Amino acid sequence: MRRRVKSAPVGSELKLLLAAHQFYLAAELCDRRSTPDGSAWLIYPEVVNRAFACELALKGLIAGHSKVLAYGHDLKELFGMLPSTIQDHLRWPDIPVALFEERLHQVKDTFELWRYAHEWNSLTVSVQFLRKLAIAAIDALHGQAAPSAIMLKSIEPQEFF
């Protein structure tokens, strides 16, 4: 499949960083751990917001390194557009590369599928993988786009596997 891209306007990285961070925070608000009794798990919006946060952060990293805006929602394809040094930075050391690639393949279409979850009999996703990928990508983008220009609310990874 041919990837759609166009030149990235000045400031694209920062705009994508801020948007990715907001969608990440929205996902955190939907997480059942956000309510005192854990009863209000808003799974559909949580998954959609986590996947979109990943997508926007990856697009921001692409814009910063390639000076183009990438299109599409496929997380695996977007990840593949990054230089290998950035890919290596986004992979965490406690998971083998093959397992990371397998998990990335499993979540690649999450944004598109989960927006229409009502149309499916069943869907599965690793929310923890999406959360950790979003944290890694947002952190990397923050360092690239605005290392000292803005402070984002801290997002800390937890145990995921």
pLDDT digits (tens, 9 = 90+) for 91-125: 988 889 999 999 999 999 999 999 998 898 999 99
Query: In whole angstroms, what is the distance from residue 29 CA to residue 71 CA?
Result: 27
Domains of the chain (ranges plus CATH)? 9-145 (1.20.120.330)
pLDDT of 125 reads: 93
Look at 135 and 146; give whichever has higher pLDDT.
Answer: 135
pLDDT in tens, 50-95: 999 999 999 999 999 888 889 999 999 999 999 999 999 999 888 8
Instruction: Give pLDDT, residue 9.
Output: 73
User: Which has the closest alpha carbon to 132: 95, 102, 83?
Assistant: 95
Q: Is the pLDDT of residue 1 over 60?
A: no
Closest CA to 79 of 106, 61, 66, 95: 61
Query: In the structure, what pLDDT confidence band is assigned to residue 33 with cuts at 50, 70 and 90?
Result: low
Residue 152 has pLDDT above 60, yes or no: no
For the chain, the average pLDDT equals 85
Q: pTM of the full predicted structure?
A: 0.84
Q: Per-residue b/e over 71-108, b at no fewer than 16 CB within 10 Å? A: ebbbbeebbebbeeebbebbbeeebeeeebeebbeebb
Position 2 scores a pLDDT of: 54
pLDDT 10s digits, 14-28? 899 999 999 999 999
Cα separation, 100 vs 75, in Å, equals 12
Task: State the Cα angle at 36 between 160 and 157, rounded to 5°.
Answer: 25
- Which two structure tokens, joined as six digits, stand for 86? 């950035």
pLDDT of residue 119: 92
